[in-house]
Amino acid sequence: MPMPITLKVTLKTVNGVKCLDVDDANNANHVSQSPQAQSIVWELEGEAASGSFQPLDATPPGFKFLTLTPDPWTTAFSTLARSPNGNTLTISDLNNSSNTQGTWKYQLYVSVGGHLYSTTATTKTLTSNDPTIKNN
């Protein structure tokens, strides 16, 4: 079974506004083709570690795909899970053919100290790009 892909999620401040940041340096968000499903794990780190991902059935949920075509749930992904303490999210990615290749934008929501933070923050001074999963 392939090693899980771990993406660190932290809080960052840009122009005085806090938002979530997913560390996908060195193409950490790229998933190579494999006959076996690969796990992607998002871990809260730093100041964000004192909080938790929103429950998956909450409004807004801890994780949601923003790219819906092709449908990520029928194309490559399944088994989205939140750890009991809310510090990690895990999804299964079966990138096993040209039909499962693509790039999917997603959004994360984390509650820290009673405040809700997202990977998407748009204000007059800040626009944070949505993170992606890229199946090569």
- The model's pLDDT over 25-82, given as tens digits with 9 standing for 90+, comes to 899 999 999 999 999 999 999 999 999 999 999 999 999 999 999 999 999 999 899 9
* CATH number, span 5-135: 2.60.40.420
Cα(78)–Cα(98) distance, integer angstroms: 18
Q: Rounded mean pLDDT of 82-104?
A: 96
Counting runs of H as helices and runs of E as strands, what totals does the chain give? 1, 11
